[in-house]
């Protein structure tokens, strides 16, 4: 991937089929990334409608990393139901063959820029497994602070209990 250019941009309705396929593949490549139950049952039309709905809000977004017209990564912000402090939860994943090329960083940076410049959110937050040291380091470098005094147990997609922490970034 040395000389190739990856475009990081907001998802478009026309990305629906590729985005569904990407999410399903990502779920098989990492035990630190989870997808919503029922993802495999979503049709392209359903995903297209979701993308269109999300792009009309100031509290949710989807960004994609694109190489040669193929989606290779995704970053999302999903608002919580907290009415007192509007918060958005970040999720980021990149296809395994592209790990280590800065795409996770690029996606998170775009999400932060979107949150600061376009959203109505007060902060971004995430839960990260402590065994995912590269992700923890990335979030720290981008200004996220741990708000969990000690790690706690979560269940990963394989059913294993692992340690995780919560991190936040005011926007």
Is the separation of the CB atoms in 11 and 108 below 8 Å? no
Separation of alpha carbons 139 and 133, rounded Å: 10
Question: In terms of C-beta density within 10 A (0-12 exposed, 13-18 middle, 19 or more buried), how is residue 148 classed?
Answer: middle
Residue 46 CB neighbours (<10 A): 12
Predicted TM-score of the model (pTM): 0.91
The domain ranges of the chain are 7-122
Fold type of domain 7-122? Aminopeptidase (3.40.630)
pLDDT in tens, 124-171: 999 999 999 999 999 999 999 999 989 999 998 888 999 999 999 999
How much is the mean pLDDT over the chain?
Answer: 92
Q: Give the confidence band of 84 by pLDDT, cuts at 50, 70, 90.
A: confident
pLDDT of residue 10 exceeding 70: yes
């Amino acid at each position: 991937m040395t000389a190739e250019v990856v475009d990081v941009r907001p998802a478009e309705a026309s990305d629906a089929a590729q985005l569904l396929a990407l999410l399903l593949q990502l779920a098989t490549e990492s035990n630190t990334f989870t997808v919503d139950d029922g993802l495999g049952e979503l049709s392209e039309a359903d995903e297209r409608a979701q993308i269109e709905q999300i792009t009309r809000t100031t509290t949710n977004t989807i960004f994609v990393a694109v190489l040669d017209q193929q989606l290779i990564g995704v970053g999302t912000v999903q608002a919580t139901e907290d009415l007192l402090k509007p918060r958005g939860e970040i999720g980021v994943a990149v296809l395994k063959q592209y790990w280590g090329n800065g795409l996770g960083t690029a996606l998170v940076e775009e999400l932060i820029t979107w949150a600061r410049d376009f959203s109505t959110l007060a902060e971004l937050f995430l839960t990260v497994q402590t065994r995912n040291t590269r992700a923890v380091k990335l979030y720290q470098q981008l200004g996220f602070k741990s708000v969990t005094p000690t790690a706690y147990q979560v269940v990963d997609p394989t059913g294993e209990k692992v340690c995780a922490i919560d991190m936040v970034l005011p926007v």
